[in-house]
Amino acid sequence: MFFSKPGSPVVSMRVTDGPDPKVNAYTFVFTSSKAPADGQIFKDAITTILTRNAHTQQAAARAEAAATEAQTAAPVQTIPRADRPLSSNDLRKFVLLKRTDLAALHRELVMTGNLSEAEFWAGREHLLSAEESIERQRKGRPTQMLELRSTSTNERGDIKITITPERAQQIFIEFPVVKRAYDENVPDPLSPAEFWTRYISSKLFDRNRASSRSAAAQHTTKDDPIFDKYLQKEDDGDEPLHQRPPASSLLINLYATSEDHEETGNAKDFTMKAGGLRSSLPLIRKFNEHSTNVLDAGLQPVTKRQRTDSSDAEYFTQLDMEDLRGPEHDDGVALGLQAGRQILDTGGSQENDTSPGDQTEPVDARALANSLRLWQGQVNKLTVGKKPVEDSFTSLSQNVAERVNVNSRKSTLVPDTIPEDLVQSMGNLQAATSEFLRQFWSAMHEKKETNQERAAKMASYLSNTHNKIAPMMMAARNQGCEPQLVRDAFMPTLDAVNKALAMYKSRDTSR
């Protein structure tokens, strides 16, 4: 809030409400005969209101902070992204946000009304399917083991560890025994804050740490009658407490030695046995259990998994790949030739004109060899006619003339680079024409009535391509660029457009 200086000719007050003074600003000008007094009264009223609002906001913030500290670590009911319903409009929006070139084409064709949404996305279903598969992916468990580390230390040396509701859920997933202790002791006899405070200083927390435990840390832990009853036996024996089930398939059992190395024996290999130090065994096995849980979380439930039997047929189905198979007989694609009946009739008439005697007449190999020998001897007497020589000379002269013209154009003062704005316009026209060609050919190969109408619509758009290139050539000339460069850049596109229009005219006249 800003008030004008005492004694100024204009009494005004400016009040801002928000971070942007240009948007959330209000100016009051007092024009009465008692302007200074009226301004002071208005200023006092506004100050009282602002002070009251500030106290209300501070009280609400303190209440919200207290509620946040007292809230329990109950699971938050959120809908995963993979389970949210996705409409076709959502998928299209995601694809356009990731592909700027496609978004520009959509803005130029669909937003202007040249194409409908269905026509634009026809033939691009693979983009929507790929985007849907990405959106349907579920975020798995983190591969890194959970480790609670101190964030700060106060003057007395007390360690502060912040446990948010999300971090509490991670602890419950990683250590089910902590989840069981929480359910049995919260809120009676312990509050959530007391539970986490006693857990961090208990032996159970020290046992669940992902890092190696030192002797000093073990002396700082305290006996706790609540958490000590959840302690399990230290997993440092020769055999782990939690035995992993054997793999049911030899294809995924990296420890399998059966039917291997028959020439040297199938004895199990113990050279890589872990746990040279007894104190490291619990940590190694904890990492193994964590890896197993991460892999199991990404798989389907055990009841829904496919049973893998140790039969040769099951192994063959997993080893059989389509890429390893040989080529199969293919009947090919039937070509729709124009005037196919005439071609067949011509071939049949030629076969009928040949007599059976000509087909079965034997060939004299010696006479054929003598004739070839005589022909080779007469090659040096070959005389070339006048017309082939003139045609060859004309072709060479035209080639040389074209090269001279190209070099002369490059040597002139006309720049051979197209301005950036014109290149952008040419790119937009090229993309739009390519889309019209794609729509045209997809509609031409289907005999539905709607597709025929779409083909006619696309043909009308393609027929205007030449008219759209002419202004660009004129703009290039006005900007000091060679117009032929613009024409040459569109030559492949114009050839495709001409072929499409010729096909459409021939199809239209044949009806």
pLDDT in tens, the chain (511 residues): 777 777 777 788 877 765 555 556 778 888 777 788 888 888 888 888 877 877 777 666 666 555 544 444 444 444 455 556 678 888 888 999 999 889 989 988 888 888 888 888 988 889 998 988 888 877 776 666 677 766 556 666 666 777 888 888 888 888 888 888 899 988 888 888 888 888 888 888 877 775 555 544 554 567 888 888 888 777 666 666 766 665 556 666 665 555 555 566 655 555 545 555 666 777 777 778 778 877 777 665 555 555 544 456 666 777 777 777 777 776 777 766 665 566 555 554 444 444 444 455 777 888 888 777 776 556 667 777 788 888 888 899 888 888 887 766 655 544 557 888 888 889 989 999 999 999 888 888 777 777 788 888 899 999 999 899 999 999 888 888 888 888 889 999 999 999 999 988 888 776 6
> In this structure, how many other beta carbons lie within 10 angstroms of the beta carbon of residue 268?
7
Considering 300, 330, 348, which residue would you say is the last residue of a domain? 300
Same domain, 441 and 398: no
- 262 located within any domain: no
- 83 located within any domain: no
Mapping DSSP onto H, E and C, the string for 381-397 reads HCCCCHHHHHHHHHHHH
Domain count, the chain: 5
Contact 186, 192 (CB under 8 A): yes
Same domain, 465 and 486: yes
Same domain, 434 and 494: yes
- 145 located within any domain: no
Same domain, 291 and 205: yes
Same domain, 401 and 422: no
Same domain, 35 and 117: no
Please give the DSSP secondary-structure letter assigned to residue 363. Answer: -
Query: Which residues are paired to 11 by β-bridges?
Result: 30
Q: What kind and span of H or E run contains 477?
A: helix 465-478
Query: Which residues are paired to 159 by β-bridges?
Result: 153
- 62 located within any domain: yes
Cα–Cα separations (whole angstroms), residue 258 to 244, 269, 309, 325: 19, 12, 16, 29
- 445 located within any domain: yes
Phi, psi of 336 (to 5 degrees): -85, 80
Same domain, 18 and 94: no
- 250 located within any domain: no
- Selection from 201, 296, 195 nearest residue 242 by Cα: 296
Same domain, 494 and 434: yes
Residue the block writes with tokens 């850049």: 489
The SS3 assignment for 460 reads helix
Same domain, 201 and 295: yes
Quick one: pLDDT at residue 434? 92
149: tokens are: 């580390």
Cα–Cα distance measured from residue 179 to residue 193, given in angstroms and rounded to the nearest whole number: 15
- 47 located within any domain: yes
Same domain, 211 and 228: yes
Q: What kind and span of H or E run contains 486?
A: helix 483-489
* Amino acid found at 151: T
Contact 53, 148 (CB under 8 A): no
Q: Please return the burial class of 202, using the count of CB atoms within 10 Å of its CB with bins 0-12, 13-18 and 19+.
A: buried
Quick one: pLDDT at residue 75? 43
Quick one: pLDDT at residue 363? 79
110: tokens are: 């669909």
- 312 located within any domain: no
Any alpha helices (H) in 76-191, and if so which ranges?
88-98, 100-109, 117-121, 125-135, 165-174, 176-185
What is the b/e burial string over 136-158, where b = at least 16 CB atoms within 10 angstroms of the residue's CB?
eeeeeeeeebeebeeeeeeeeee
Same domain, 288 and 206: yes
Quick one: pLDDT at residue 495? 93
Q: What kind and span of H or E run contains 499?
A: helix 491-509
> In this structure, how many other beta carbons lie within 10 angstroms of the beta carbon of residue 207?
20
Same domain, 192 and 229: yes
Q: Which residues contact 269 (CB under 8 A, 6 or more apart)?
A: 257
Count the helix, strand and coil residues of the chain and give each as a percent rounded to the nearest 5: 60, 5, 40
User: The domain containing residue 182 runs over which residues?
Assistant: 159-235+278-300
Cα–Cα distance measured from residue 458 to residue 123, given in angstroms and rounded to the nearest whole number: 15
